[in-house]
Amino acid sequence: MTIIVVLAAGVFWSPGPGAFAHPHVFIEERVKFEFDGKGLASIRMFWTFDDMFSTMVAGDFDRNKNHALEPEEVAEVRKGMFDNLVNHGYYAFIKIDNKSFEVKSVRGFKASLHKGILTYEFVIPCHVTATSQPKVVTLTSFDPDYYCALFFAEDNPTLISGESAVDVLATIQKDMETDYYFGMLNPWQQHVSFRLKQ
């Protein structure tokens, strides 16, 4: 692994207090709320990284230099650049009816390169049974240390699938109850309300 990627990984994963004045990794996020016949089944995350971070990861993990990530290369990306995020809850702060839901594991990790841009896809298991009364799930995505800047995509930031049994209302709003970076920033959150169809 080259020195520059080691340094980048240190910035990406460092749990200590902020020694840098601004984020070094930028992540555009789309979120798919996946429903089944009982209610919410899972939350699928799509992360698209900035040019610089994508180039650094490709330089170290695209071993055969074919501008793609083979299965064994994806496994190395997961081990070297993703798995440690469990210590940070994968930057996903979830509440179910205003009660915190800790993200302890994910499944279905994928990493790919498209025209030199790195993307991650992974699934957060989150089962919430629908009832006749609205259930509210909020997802706030941010890095409290501000080494990574996460922001929702301008186009199609919220995706819904499998909602045939429920009525769903999804919005994006600023989380005014949460602040970070010395109290100067408030993150945005996905706000999803659903109930069984009447």
Which residue, 142, 127, 140, is CA-closest to 194?
A: 127
Q: Is the pLDDT reported for residue 171 higher than 60?
A: yes
Look at residue 154 and tell me whether its pLDDT is greater than 60. Answer: yes
Q: Which residue range(s) make up the domain with 30?
A: 26-196
Mean pLDDT over the full length of the chain: 91
DSSP 80: I
Identify residue 92 by its one-letter amino acid code. A
Amino acid 2: pLDDT:
39
The predicted-structure confidence for 79-128, as pLDDT tens digits, reads as follows 999 999 999 999 999 999 999 999 999 999 999 999 999 999 999 999 99
Token digits for 18? 């902020």
* Burial class of residue 196 in the structure, from the number of CB atoms within 10 Å of its CB (0-12 exposed, 13-18 middle, 19+ buried): middle
Map residue 37 onto helix, strand or coil. coil
Grouping H, G, I as helix, E, B as strand and the rest as coil, residue 134 is: coil
Q: What pLDDT shows up at residue 71?
A: 97
Is 18 among the domain residues? no
pLDDT bin (cut points 50, 70, 90) of residue 169 is very high
Answer yes or no: is 173 within a domain. Answer: yes
Residue 12 has pLDDT above 80, yes or no: no
Residue 145: pLDDT above 60?
yes
Task: Please report whether residue 99 resides in a domain.
Answer: yes
| Distance (Å, whole) CA 97 – CA 128 | 10
Q: Is residue 5 predicted with pLDDT exceeding 60?
A: no
CB 176 within 8 A of CB 22: no
pTM of the model: 0.88
**How far is 190 from 151, CA to CA, in rounded Å?**
11
Residue 180, burial from CB neighbour count under 10 angstroms (0-12, 13-18, 19+): middle
State what percent of residues in the chain have pLDDT above 70. 89
Residue at 2 is within a domain: no
Indicate if the pLDDT at residue 17 is higher than 60: no
Is beta strand 158-161 parallel, antiparallel or unpaired with respect to 25-35? parallel
Residue 51 lies in a domain: yes
**What distances in angstroms separate CA 28 from CA 32, 55, 117, 132, 168, one per listed residue?**
14, 16, 11, 34, 24
User: What pLDDT is attached to residue 42?
Assistant: 98
pLDDT, position 20 = 47
d(CA 102, CA 148): 20
Residue 19 lies in a domain: no
CATH number at residue 155: 2.70.170
Distance CA 106, CA 123 (A): 5
**Does residue 21 have a pLDDT over 60?**
no
Q: 20 lies in a domain? A: no
| Number of domains into which the chain is organized | 1
7 found inside a domain = no
